[in-house]
Amino acid sequence: MAAESKIDPMHQFQIDALSGGALDGTPFIFTNSALWMLIVLGAILLFMWGGMKRELVPGRWQAAVEMLTGFASGLAIGNIGPEGKKYVPWIFTVFTFILFSNFMGMMPFGIFEKAHPFTVTSQFSVTGVLAIISFSIVLIVGFWKHGFHFFSLFVPHGTPALLLPLIVPIEMISFLVRPFSLALRLFVAMIAGHILVDVFGYFIVNGINAGTPMGYFVSAISFVFIAGVNALELLVCAIQAYVFALLTSLYINDAVHLH
Amino acid sequence: MDLAAAKVIGAGLAAIGVGVAAQGVGNVFGSFLQGALRNPAAADGQQGRLFIGFAAAELLGLIAFAVAMIILYAV
């Protein structure tokens, strides 16, 4: 191979058509993004199915599943209150899907040809849709429960009348950027981590290809660093899923209780 | 200065924001630990707020990163 390969960290986010489109003329294109979304779905189904035998004394698997469901419902009920039980399905869905797709994106399947994992949540369209659904739930619940009284969300308690022309636009903007910030946070965190890992992966390969003592030294340093970054990325995967679910439940709490 | 050089310099300047956001995230967790060690009994109840603060601080760093990427690849 070439002595030095060009560092191209954005290539891993490219969406390729696996079938359909130009390949065989059908208008429906099945992409690697869709494939990995199905794989994530399969992993979630497998995990949940294995733990839903409803044994009286839970085994390890059932205990793990109960921990996940208990975590999601604790998040919803702890932040929204007793009414939060209604919103557990969406909180659980969003948490589990993001957690599993983040983790599937970190899997080291790339050592096999053509099996490079695709991080579903590294596409703004995917995280954007999740955020828009969360925001729609907030809007629908808010207007359903409170009608036009929902707009009092923009007026915090005890605001002096003099400050209203300043506070209301600020609150309105901070409300309206919520879906955007929710989606952007997850998507950019995933992109940034994968670019970092990818760039240092190229450093390892290029250092070994260079064949000089300095090249081997750089490769060794990069290898140690990449192991640490991968551990950090696993933490970030879990934290981002948690933050998304937490903020969703907080926003729903705003809609249910109006401050 | 030609555009390519200006792009790289701009992306580097945008990366400063990521470092400042790192300070912010460190400040969030550091302050939480300070408070948590003084009153460990109240610490568990504040974890949600801890992560809200973390998310807000981190978002700004990620936006700086997004700006750097936009300058490098999209301009």
Q: What is the pLDDT of residues A164-195, one digit of tens each?
A: 889 999 999 999 999 999 999 999 999 988 98
The rounded mean pLDDT for chain A is 88
Global pTM reads 0.88
pLDDT at A23: 65
Could you please report the per-residue DSSP string of A168-217?
A: HHHHHHHHHTHHHHHHHHHHHHHHHHHHHHHHHHHHHHHHHHH-SHHHHH
pLDDT at A5: 60
* Interface touch A185/B55, C-beta < 8 Å: yes
| pLDDT band at residue A67 under the 50/70/90 scheme | very high
| pLDDT band at residue A50 under the 50/70/90 scheme | confident
Provide the percentage of residues in chain A whose pLDDT is more than 90.
Answer: 50
Would the pLDDT of B32 be above 90? Answer: yes
Provide the percentage of residues in chain A whose pLDDT is more than 70.
Answer: 95
Task: Sketch out chain B's domains with CATH numbers.
Answer: 3-74 (1.20.20.10)
> What average pLDDT does range A55-82 have in this prediction?
90
Would the pLDDT of A114 be above 80? Answer: no
Dihedral sign for Cα atoms in the order A178, A180, A183, A185: negative
User: What is the interface size between A and B, counted as CB pairs within 8 Å?
Assistant: 35
Would the pLDDT of A257 be above 60? Answer: yes
The rounded mean pLDDT for chain B is 90
The tokens 């990325």 sit on which residue? A233
Chain A residues near any Cβ of chain B (below 8 Å)? 10, 78-79, 181, 184-185, 188-189, 191-192, 239, 242-243, 246-247, 250
Domain boundaries, chain A: 29-257
pLDDT at A2: 44
Instruction: Quote the CA–CA distance of A159 and A196 in Å, as a whole number.
Output: 45
Instruction: Quote the CA–CA distance of B39 and B41 in Å, as a whole number.
Output: 5
pLDDT at A3: 45
Q: Which residue of B has its CA nearest to A183?
A: B59
pLDDT at A39: 92
